[in-house]
Amino acid sequence: MKKIIIDTDPGQDDALALMTAFGAKEQLLVLGVTCVAGNVPLDFTSVNALKICELSGVFDVPVFKGSATPLERKLVTAEHVHGKTGLDGTELRVREKEVEPTSAIDFIIECAEKYRDEKITICALGPLTNIARVLTKNPGVTGSIEEIVLMGGGFFEGGNITPAAEFNIYVDPEAAKIVLDSGVKITMLPLDVTHKTLVQRDFLENLRKSGKNSANEAAKLLDFFERYDVEKYGSQGGPLHDPNVIVYLLDPEIYEGKLVNVEIEVNSELTRGMTVVDWWNVTNRKPNAYYINNVKDDKFFEVVLNKVLSLEI
């Protein structure tokens, strides 16, 4: 069973990623959920993680607060997409769970040391600030990380926060550069693939008619989430960015990509956070990431639906 830590900034699509992971108990052992500022400030993202744990009936997975600000930049958030709380679209409450006293950075380091022989996989769904701080504070953890699977970047699709940059990378490009330069095995799921997993009407209806509270609440969250992309892009539905990270771990065969070099632009204000992907190997720089650009979307939604509906409540 793969041991994972989910680093996240919930976010409606993060919520569905968490629910997918929680529903995959036979394949994934979620050691903890570490929170970072991104879609909304840290106080919201950490509470949102607690809400999704309780919605999913998961009370044995600890939640930790991490970085409230990027390494060097002023925080940029995305309430225009996710709403003021980050989980607008329904009213979820926290009744039992609490955030752990340990910092997210220390928790990740502790897990890396504890599972040095077995190794851990880090699923990064938001800005990479926490992961960069871990790598900077204790570079030795790289030997304990099997892989970092992250949602971030965009090349063929351009950006979604600026013409050049995807949101997660844009928020903390310095952190993204540290992660990409770390030497750890990295898989990237950028906009190039997540824009191919647009919310489908039958998927939402299957969530609603399941009779399960968790699935019905997930449908409400997605109804709110997709209104932004439908209006902005004229698409048929909003892209489910973050669940791709979890689905990749569960069924990597439905994805296609290439091992390439990816560099992060940190100096230019015009192209800040751009993921410069050497798709055709024109620079001869050493490949540092498996960059995914295609997915069988029907299989993707099949996996997500199956795992969400397997939740107990």
- Catalytic (active-site) positions: 241
Q: Name residue 260's beta-bridge partners.
A: 289
**How far is residue 238's CA from residue 203's CA, in Å, rounded to a whole number?**
12
Greatest alpha-carbon span in the chain: 54
DSSP class of 301:
H
Residue with tokens 């001869």: 284
**How far is residue 110's CA from residue 168's CA, in Å, rounded to a whole number?**
25
Chain-centroid distance, C-alpha 170: 14
What is the phi/psi pair of residue 79, to 5°?
Answer: -60, -25
- Whether residue 164 contacts residue 269, with contact meaning beta carbons closer than 8 Å, is answered with no
As a whole number of Å, the end-to-end CA separation of the chain is 23
Tell me the residue ranges of DSSP E strands in 193-268: 255-260, 262-264
> Which residues lie below 8 Å from residue 95, measured CB to CB, with a gap of 6+?
54
DSSP class of 280:
T
